Amino acid sequence: MGHRHHHHHHIDADAGDRRVGFAIAVNFLLTAAQIVGGLISGSLALIADALHNLSDAMSLVIAFAARRIARRGADDTMTFGYDRIEVVAALINYTTLILLGLYLGYEAILRFLDPQPVDGWLVVIIAGLALIVDLATAALTWALSKQSVNIRAAFLHNLADALGSVAVIVAGTLIILYDWRLIDPAITLLIAGYILYMSFAEIGGVIRILMLGTPPGLDPEQVMSAVETVRGVAEVHHVHLWQMGEHRHSFDAHLRIAEGQWDNADAVKAEVKALLADRFGVTHSTLEMECARHGCTDARRLGHETAQG
Ordered structural domains, the chain, with CATH = 2-210 (1.20.1510.10), 220-290 (3.30.70.1350)
Position with higher pLDDT, 3 vs 164: 164
Distance CA 268, CA 98 (A): 48
Asked whether 292 and 259 are in contact (CB, 8 A), the reply is yes
Task: Provide the β-strand partners of residue 236.
Answer: 255
Evaluate if residue 295 carries a pLDDT over 90: no
Q: Average pLDDT over the chain, rounded to whole?
A: 81
- pLDDT of 229 reads 92
Distance CA 161, CA 163 (A): 5
Distance of CA 178 to the CA centre of its chain: 41
Distance CA 118, CA 125 (A): 13
Average of pLDDT values for 248-261? 90
Contact residues for 133 (Cβ-Cβ < 8 A; gap 6+): 26, 27, 30
Evaluate if residue 5 carries a pLDDT over 60: no
Contact residues for 243 (Cβ-Cβ < 8 A; gap 6+): 208, 209, 212, 213, 215, 249, 250
